[in-house]
Amino acid sequence: MKASDYQIIIIGAGVVGLAVARALAEKGKQSVLIIDRETGFGRGISGRNSEVIHSGIYYPQNTLKSKYCIKGRDLLYQYCASNNVFHQKCGKIIIADEYQEEALMNLFHLGESKNLGALKLLSKKEISHHEPNINGVIGLLIESTGIIDAHGLMSSFYQRSNSSDHDYLFQSTILGCKKNQNGYQLTIQSPAAELEKVTCDWVINAAGLNSDLISNMILPVESTPNLIFSKGFYFSLASRWRNRFNHLIYPIPDKDHRSLGIHLSFDQTGRVKLGPDAHFLHERIEDYSMDESLIKPFYEAPSQYILGLKIEVLAPDFSGIRPKIKNENYSFADFYIAHEEKKGFPGWINLIGIDSPGLTSAIAIGEEIERWINDS
């Protein structure tokens, strides 16, 4: 029987695909090919987000999002500290008005039941002490939340993968997949528009916005979830607002967890941005253009908790798209992470619907996938 070209092929060079590659490199796996349609790593949805290390407070108990976020958060802080990746455990404050106290207390009790680190309820006076530019009746301080340089993290993963002689194929598209004696054969359209057939023992489908379509190339369509795109916009604040905040500031999320609300975050330079909101797209179009008409809601919602905010200081910044698993009412949807062996596809691992908190969860997911491969 002829050996496969590679032991493992990873489809997608975003943060999760790179985290898998890094985990494989740490265990000495060298026969690895990473394929991505972009011109380089991290050029898709992984580079268009809030760059927040999430605590895990929002996600229901016994879900994959809760599991991987909480584990991944701690691994991420450790990794960044050891590998000189910028991060800051700044904490965040969830702000509530007098009509939202019950919802905030529900979050507090949910957080107490998890491994979230220090949680503290804040009075109006205490909110003002921590954040003089923020107004709220009651707040919840979560110290384990932070910020990260997402590109710096992905660059670190990429360098570790490269040091193990992993191969990368950019500007390449998967046109088809089929099973063979050893595992799988992928048909790939390369940058030169040539068709290549590459074989492997394992496929890790980390294709982000196209992960369900990749899965459908080989698994029955009804056997894996379908995605819907959720587009979110960001507006930045003028430079005079730089370095005015010590913590990330979040409103109470909506009841269905469709969105965490338009929140305030900042980067390593202190530059402040507001967002994202959430718009479910009825067509699968990867369009990152900005809608400047949204400036009014981006002012009105945050002005409820940011003192002295004027609409004139807002400017359109960027947008991102989240691959959410489709359900009937667009409510909470968990990650889909599965080795499809029981469906008759040993060696095929699907990572579908890896939206937020995918960045926080990446290392935990990557190390889990490596264990699955190693234990098989």
pLDDT of 330: 81
Give the model confidence (pLDDT) of 3-26 as tens digits. Answer: 999 999 999 999 999 999 999 999
Is 1 a residue whose pLDDT tops 70?
Answer: no
SS3 assignment, position 276? coil
Structure tokens at 34: 């990473």
Instruction: Give the per-residue pLDDT at 257.
Output: 59
Q: 329 falls in which pLDDT band (50, 70, 90)?
A: confident
Mean pLDDT of the chain: 95
Average pLDDT over residues 82-103: 97
At 340, which amino acid appears?
E
CB burial of residue 170 (10 Å; 0-12, 13-18, 19+): middle
- In the prediction, which pLDDT does 314 show? 98
For 278-327, how does the pLDDT look when each residue is reduced to its tens digit (9 = 90+)?
A: 999 989 999 999 999 999 999 999 999 999 999 999 999 999 999 999 98
Is the pLDDT score of 258 beyond 80?
no
Q: 181-196, pLDDT tens digit by residue? A: 889 999 999 887 789 9
- One DSSP character per residue, 57-107 reads TTSPTTSHHHHHHHHHHHHHHHHHHHHT--EE---EEEEE-TTSHHHHHHH
pLDDT at 191: 82
**92-143+227-325 has which fold?**
D-Amino Acid Oxidase; Chain A, domain 2 (3.30.9)
Categorize the per-residue pLDDT at 351 as very low, low, confident or very high, splitting at 50, 70 and 90: very high
Q: String of b and e for 197-232 (b: at least 16 CB within 10 Å)?
A: ebbbbbbbbbbbbbbbbbbbebbeeeebbebbbbbb
40: nearest Cα among 151, 147, 149: 151
206 near 18, Cβ under 8 Å?
A: no
Domain locations in the chain as residue ranges: 6-47+152-226+333-375, 92-143+227-325
pLDDT score, position 247? 98
> Given a cut of 90, is residue 331 above it in pLDDT?
no
CA of residue 43 relative to chain centroid, distance: 13
CATH architecture of 6-47+152-226+333-375: 3-Layer(bba) Sandwich (3.50)
Return the higher-pLDDT residue of 163 and 192.
163
Residue-wise pLDDT for 110-157, tens only, equals: 999 987 888 999 999 999 999 999 999 999 999 999 999 999 999 999
Is pLDDT at 256 greater than 90 in this prediction?
A: no
